[in-house]
């Protein structure tokens, strides 16, 4: 059984941990390849914790949707806003629950195919769209895969901002 640690167990940007280290820590903790976490962070925020997206609903490296009343991850705020490590850890736990088959409700709402455990890419799509393999999720999955394949975080364009 995996559990999320206390905030004091997270690496902290205040203590000098870089986004690279935090993303590697998240991937290791939750059992993913680091390049998956890196690619999602590029697509979601260009690795900027201050990024506010989805018309003000999402925050941070992984764009946790929590900033407004009614947002699905509302309880995660304000930690998702203040802490890069918490933001990425929250994403990691969500993806792990999905991969482990704990989101059977995805078969009760609009879906492009039947939800099943073990499909990391389907779960990455759920993070974006809230649904299993609907067209926006498939588009997002393709974008993250492309970003991962090209290691965008190592390019001059990425380093230059």
- For residue 69, the model assigns a pLDDT of 87
- For residue 26, the model assigns a pLDDT of 96
Burial 31-64 (b: 16+ CB within 10 A, else e): ebeebbbbbbbbbbbebebebeeeeebbbbbbbb
User: Is the C-alpha dihedral spanning 4, 7, 9, 15 positive or negative?
Assistant: positive
Find, among 151, 99, 152, the residue nearest to 126 by Cα. 99
| Cα–Cα distance measured from residue 142 to residue 83, given in angstroms and rounded to the nearest whole number | 28
Please state the pTM of the whole predicted model. 0.89
Q: Which residue has the tokens 């167990």?
A: 9
pLDDT tens, per residue, the chain with 161 residues: 333 433 334 444 445 689 999 999 999 999 999 999 999 999 999 999 999 999 999 999 999 999 888 888 999 998 999 999 999 999 999 999 999 999 999 999 999 999 999 999 999 999 999 999 999 999 999 999 999 999 999 999 888 65
| Cα–Cα distance measured from residue 126 to residue 1, given in angstroms and rounded to the nearest whole number | 22
């Amino acid at each position: 059984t995996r559990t999320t640690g206390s905030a004091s167990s997270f690496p902290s940007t205040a203590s000098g941990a870089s986004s690279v280290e935090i993303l590697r820590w998240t991937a290791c903790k939750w059992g993913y390849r680091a390049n998956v976490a890196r690619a999602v962070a590029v697509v979601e925020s260009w690795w900027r914790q201050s990024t506010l997206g989805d018309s003000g609903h999402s925050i941070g490296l992984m764009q946790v949707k929590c900033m407004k009343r009614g947002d699905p991850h509302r309880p995660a705020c304000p930690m998702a806003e203040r802490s890069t490590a918490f933001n990425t850890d929250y994403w990691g736990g969500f993806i792990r629950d999905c991969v482990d088959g704990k989101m059977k409700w995805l078969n009760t709402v609009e879906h492009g195919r039947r939800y099943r455990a073990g499909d990391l890419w389907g779960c990455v799509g759920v993070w974006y769209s809230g649904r299993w393999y609907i067209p926006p999720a498939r588009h997002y999955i393709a974008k993250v895969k492309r970003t991962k394949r090209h290691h965008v975080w190592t390019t001059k364009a990425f380093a230059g901002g």
